[in-house]
Every structure is written in structure tokens, then in C-alpha cells.
Amino acid sequence: MANAQPVQISRRSDTDVAKVLVSGCLNGPPIRYNQTNVPVESPVWDSWDADGRLVPFCAELAAGFPIPRPPAEIVDGDSTKVLCGQGAVAEDVGTDVTALFIEGARLAVAHARENGCVVAVLTDGSPSCGSTYQYDGSFTGATRAGTGVVAQLLMDSGIRVFPESQLEQADAYLRSLPNRT
Ligand code: SF4
């Protein structure tokens, strides 16, 4: 009788799938400045979750901000200027928090690289995570087109960023990448 050969079982593991950096407050714990989260109801999200693609990260908590915290906006320039030392982020109470926001952005890029993230889906409107719009620095609720400092530094690092309202587009982009599952 021939020796039985060991059966090789091939199974997709977490390390095989393309990862997506996601804002920690998306469908996560209530970590936003006002101690809330941002619910996400999407089959794309559920599918990514089931596949082990999600890599949650909060740049503001990583930089040392507490929960809750005062709201902050980019009050001088835009995210690109903030990142090169020519702009400013401040809280509504007047505290300059520029250095902490830059540190959070650096930590987010490092976390994305360490975890092999090729795409990011981030909470729009945030001075950190926003990718299509920002509050305009007047703390009146007025908005303008623009990116937060985390989103901008991720983009500058070659990671494509989508807002949570564009999960289908993010999924299509993810699946279009060569040699990715
Ligand atoms: S920094 Fe980003 S992940 Fe953290 S609470 Fe703000 S929007 Fe959410």
C-alpha cells in the first residue's frame, strides 16, 4: 500500500489580502471629538470586514488627544501648508494643535505601511481624515473643498484615499490593483 501523502490545505489568510486603512471612528468606538462614532452600513464594508481587510486607526488618539476634546479646524492655509509648517490647526478654544495633527498624520502613514495598506477610507470633513471637504476655520459650520492632514500625507505617500461615502469606488479601485486579492 502506497504511503499516504500529507494533504496540503491552501487557505487565504489575513496576510494575503490587500488591506484598507480605515478611520477608527468608522463603525468603531465613540472616539470622535464629541465622543461619537460614524456608523457605516454597506455590503462593501461587511465584505472587507469578513475578508480581514480592515485596519482601523485614529491619528488624533495616536497623537495623544483625549476623548472628548474640543473641535479643531484648519484655521490657516490648507493641509499641504500645515504639513510644511506654513499653516495651522487650532481648537475652537484657541489652542494651537498643529504639531499634534502633524504627528498624528506621520503615525497614520507609518501604521498604513506597517500593515500593508494600499487604500484608505477615512471620515470626511475631519481636519485629520477629511478627503473631499473641510470646515473652513471659522467654527460656524461652513465648509470648503479640501483635505485633512492625515488624508493629505497618505495621498502624498502614494496611498489612495476615499471618503466613507465612496466605498463602492474604493472597492473597485482595490480590485483593480495588480497582484491583489
Ligand atoms: S482623527 Fe480620524 S479616526 Fe480619529 S476620530 Fe477623527 S475622523 Fe475619526
Contact at 8 Å (CB) between 64 and 102? no
- Determine whether 15 is exposed, middle or buried from the number of CB atoms within 10 Å of its CB (0-12, 13-18, 19+): exposed
Pocket of ligand 1 from Cβ distances under 6 Å? 23-25, 31-32, 58-60, 123, 126, 128-129
**This prediction's pTM:** 0.91
C-alpha 129/C-alpha 149 separation (Å) is: 7
**What tens digit of pLDDT does each residue of 102-147 get?**
999 999 999 999 999 999 999 999 999 999 999 999 999 999 999 9
Domain ranges of the chain: 19-176
Contact at 8 Å (CB) between 53 and 18? yes
C-alpha 79/C-alpha 144 separation (Å) is: 12
Averaged pLDDT score across all residues of the chain: 93
Q: Of the residues 37, 58, 134, 154, which should be mutated to test ligand 1's pocket, given the most ligand atoms within 8 Å of the CB? A: 58
C-alpha 135/C-alpha 97 separation (Å) is: 16
The answer, yes or no, to whether residue 10 has pLDDT greater than 50, is no
**What tens digit of pLDDT does each residue of 30-47 get?**
999 999 999 999 999 999
C-alpha 99/C-alpha 7 separation (Å) is: 55
- Nearest one of 77, 124, 131, 69 to 100, comparing CA atoms: 69
